[in-house]
Amino acid sequence: MKPGAFEYRKATSVKDVVTWLHGDSTSKILAGGQSLVPVMNFRLAHPSLLVDINEITSLRQITCDADHITIGAMVHHQEMVENREVRQYFPLLSVAARHIGHWAVRNRGTVGGSLAHADPASEWPAVMVALQAQIGVEGIDGSRVISAADLFLGYYTTELAADEMMTTIHISHPNHPLGFAEVARRPGDFALAGAIVEDFGDAHGSVTWFGVAGKPERVKVSLPKEAALRAQSFQTALQTLTQLDEDRHRQQLAITVAERAFQHSHLNGQEYFTFEGGQV
Ligand SMILES: Cc1cc2nc3c(=O)[nH]c(=O)nc-3n(C[C@H](O)[C@H](O)[C@H](O)COP(=O)(O)OP(=O)(O)OC[C@H]3O[C@@H](n4cnc5c(N)ncnc54)[C@H](O)[C@@H]3O)c2cc1C
């Protein structure tokens, strides 16, 4: 399939983008095109104007130290896999990025594009909710910050207005052990179920799933020492999700990946970073 006709403009500044988006209510941002182009090819979207933001180099920066990271919306997934500071200080981000599609997809797809697309099976939305990220957004009337918890409304739906643009993602390190795990049919496929677990260290923590509900939600959970009690605790947490998928097999996978993510939160440093599993 081929897309319908559209106008194409290349933006060189954020101001260009918000001005053009505001001037045409059916316009859309083109980032990596890894989700938008297939959707247009299937004629599920027919924007009249595509605003290409690939030339706005300021959106490609990562600033990272042990406590904070700021990620430009146009940072590619593969850059998150490879960046040395990200690997050192926020290994969870690097591990999560490695599970996104294949190299060709990771090399073009962007963090901001993935968040705006809001696929419930995607890694980035859940990771950002788990880490309580703050999302910087620009519109015609100025900027605002949305917490990741408020950004996702449900399947492929966000709080962003049609004429708003995401510019940065800011995360403060939680300074607790974090673990990530997912199960997919084949390496590179979207997750059937995935989880991020944070261990607060007092037999409590949080779990954020993806692939098992319409949007990611960070749920507080008790983390008892006994695996059977933990499974029960994850089951109770799962049932609180507002848009939980009713498929029982997927729900069972959710418990399995939560337990794996919990186990991975107790591997640290290099050992955790070199973990390659989580997919079957
Ligand atoms: C074969 C294949 C496998 C894939 N596997 C996975 C996977 O396993 N996990 C996963 O998470 N994803 C996967 N993806 C999707 C991929 O991660 C995309 O890169 C991502 O979803 C969209 O990013 P993009 O930069 O390509 O955005 P685009 O496709 O260009 O845009 C997507 C949407 O976001 C909007 N948008 C883009 N940037 C901004 C911005 N800065 N502000 C506001 N709106 C914006 C666009 O207007 C559009 O509506 C896969 C894609 C393919 C083709």
Q: Which of 51, 90, 88 is nearest to 169 (CA)?
A: 90
pLDDT at 89 over 80: yes
Task: For residue 28, give the ligand 1 atom closest to its CA.
Answer: 47
Q: Which of 274, 99, 65 is nearest to 184 (CA)?
A: 99
122 lines ligand 1 (CB under 6 A): yes
CATH 3.30.465.10 intervals, the chain: 63-172
* Residue to substitute in 17, 24, 29, 192 for testing ligand 1 pocket (most ligand atoms within 8 angstroms of CB): 29
Architecture of domain 63-172: 2-Layer Sandwich (3.30)
CATH 3.30.390.50 intervals, the chain: 178-273
User: Over the stretch 237-279, which tens digit does the pLDDT of each residue have?
Assistant: 999 999 999 999 999 999 999 999 999 998 864 444 444 444 3
Q: Are the beta carbons of 256 and 183 closer than 8 angstroms?
A: yes
Task: For residue 123, give the ligand 1 atom closest to its CA.
Answer: 11
User: Over the stretch 96-135, which tens digit does the pLDDT of each residue have?
Assistant: 999 999 999 999 999 999 999 999 999 999 999 999 999 9
CATH 3.30.43.10 intervals, the chain: 7-52
* Residue to substitute in 35, 55, 108 for testing ligand 1 pocket (most ligand atoms within 8 angstroms of CB): 35
User: Over the stretch 176-225, which tens digit does the pLDDT of each residue have?
Assistant: 999 999 999 988 899 999 999 999 999 999 999 999 999 999 999 999 99
Question: Among the CATH numbers 3.40.50.261, 3.30.465.10, 3.30.43.10, 3.40.50.720, which is that of 7-52?
Answer: 3.30.43.10
Range 170-195 burial, b when 16+ CB lie within 10 A, else e:
ebebeeebbbbbbbbeeeeebbbbbb
78 lines ligand 1 (CB under 6 A): no
Residue nearest to atom 40 of ligand 1 (CA): 166
Residue nearest to atom 41 of ligand 1 (CA): 166
CATH 3.30.390.50 fits 178-273, yes or no: yes
Neighbours of 98 (CB within 10 A): 20
81 lines ligand 1 (CB under 6 A): no
Residue nearest to atom 23 of ligand 1 (CA): 113
